[in-house]
Amino acid sequence: MRIFSGIQPTGQKHLGNYVGAIRQYVEGQDRADAIYCIVDLHAITVPYEPGELRANVYDTTAVLLAAGLDPERCTLFRQGDLKEHTELCWLLSAVTAHGDLNRMHQFKEKSAGQRELVSAGLFLYPVLQAADVLAYRADEVPVGEDQRQHIELMRDIAQRFNERFGETLVVPRHRIPDVGGRIMDLQSPDTKMSTTLGSEQGTLYIRDPDKAMATKIMRAVTDSGSDVVRAPDKPGISNLIEVMSVFRGVGPEDVEQEFADAQYGDFKKAVADTVVEALAPIRDRYQELQVDRAGLEDVLRAGAERARSIASGTLADVRERMGVGPPD
């Protein structure tokens, strides 16, 4: 089995990234042929600074390695190093319905926030994302809940291609965690935790100092009442229960039972202690790795070579089936 997933190099990585994606990456490298990509080409679909983008790629690489990714057990590379992704994106756009792209929730959300330019790249983002996955004939894509619609689209693209040109592409399936697939902003628990759209005090960054982590959790918006239970009208405490569940490795109902008699303040302190204990070693390792850009570049370069050996074969098959270029 092969796993593929990509992560954006935009801003600092936060608790939502770790719970929803990064921990799945680490687990995946021990049960399959795991390929992970830092998607710098996706990052240029919205306003950005070139120097900041390059710095963020190294920053994201350091976070992934600090969290437990091992270049000897998985393939980790930078998307922009492989031209195969962009060419496959163009080829797949020929079997992608304009109407499907127009219905993408993330396009609507991100385009609404652009004041100057809504780029065609932002519109085609899901096709490039499909190319990222389909280039490796991946069986499984570990993602957060917010990516469900994009995975469904790439499945449709693969199926449509196979129906028209013959069985060529693997139709992937998503792997969304039952708990923690969508971690919410600590100050606005009805909004997903986000580097770009969330609040500073509501976003817990992996590289925050221990005190800052604990303070953000202790100040997290909760709800009226005092019962530590999940409920539709208790998004704040429900969010913290999910976080605790993930880091303790137990079900949310176990967390509710353990803290049945606790007050919100006591529960928050327990969550803060648990999160700090889990993330502090990752942050400390990150601090060591992020200063060695030459070492990080070596990891990305070696990963790109391995990735290219797979993606180039898929691209050649797609071109041949579509009748593009000279015959094989």
pLDDT > 90? residue 281: yes
Q: Is the pLDDT of residue 177 over 80?
A: no
Residue 102 and residue 94: Cα distance in Å, rounded? 15
Confidence of residue 146 (pLDDT cuts 50, 70, 90): confident
What does the alpha-carbon distance between residue 223 and residue 233 come to, in Å, rounded to a whole number? 8
Do 66 and 283 meet the contact criterion of CB atoms below 8 Å apart? yes
pLDDT at 26 over 90: yes
210-288 in CATH: which number? 1.10.240.10
Percent of the chain residues topping a pLDDT of 90? 70
In the chain, where the domains are located:
2-175+293-322, 210-288
Written as one letter, the residue type at 293 is R
∠ Cα 50 89 13 (to 5°): 45
The alpha carbon of residue 2 and the mean position of all alpha carbons in its chain are separated, in whole angstroms, by 17
**Helix-helix angle 50-67:293-322, to 10 degrees:** 100
pLDDT for res 122: 84
Per cent of the chain over pLDDT 70 is 96
Instruction: State how far the Cα of 146 lies from the Cα of 277, in Å rounded to an integer.
Output: 27
**In the structure encoding, which two tokens stand for residue 132, read together?**
């990222």
Are the CB atoms for 132 and 85 separated by under 8 Å? yes
* Average pLDDT for 31-59: 93
Q: What is the mean pLDDT of the chain?
A: 91
- The backbone torsions φ and ψ at residue 176, rounded to the nearest 5 degrees and listed phi first, read -110, 125
Mean pLDDT of 201-219: 93
How many CA atoms within 13 Å lie on the side-chain side of 30? Answer: 6
- The pLDDT, as a whole number, for residue 113 is 66
Predicted confidence at residue 241, as pLDDT, reads 94
Q: What helix, strand, coil percent values describe the chain, rounded to 5?
A: 55, 10, 35
Q: How confident is the model at residue 50 (pLDDT cuts 50, 70, 90)?
A: very high
Task: For residue 111, name the pLDDT band (cuts at 50, 70, 90).
Answer: low
CB 142 within 8 A of CB 31: no
pLDDT-derived band at 309 (thresholds 50, 70, 90) equals very high
Q: H or E stretch including 36?
A: strand 33-38
CATH of 2-175+293-322, one of 3.40.50.450, 3.40.190.10, 3.30.470.30, 3.40.50.620: 3.40.50.620
Using the predicted structure, report yes or no on whether residue 274 has a pLDDT greater than 70.
yes
The residue that leads in pLDDT, 260 or 307, is: 307
Q: Cβ distance 83 to 306 under 8 Å?
A: no
Mean pLDDT, range 127-145, rounded to an integer: 92
Question: Where is pLDDT greater, at 28 or 119?
Answer: 28
Identify the weakest region by mean pLDDT among 13-22, 69-78, 177-186.
177-186
- What span, in angstroms and rounded, lies between the C-alpha atoms of 211 and 94? 52
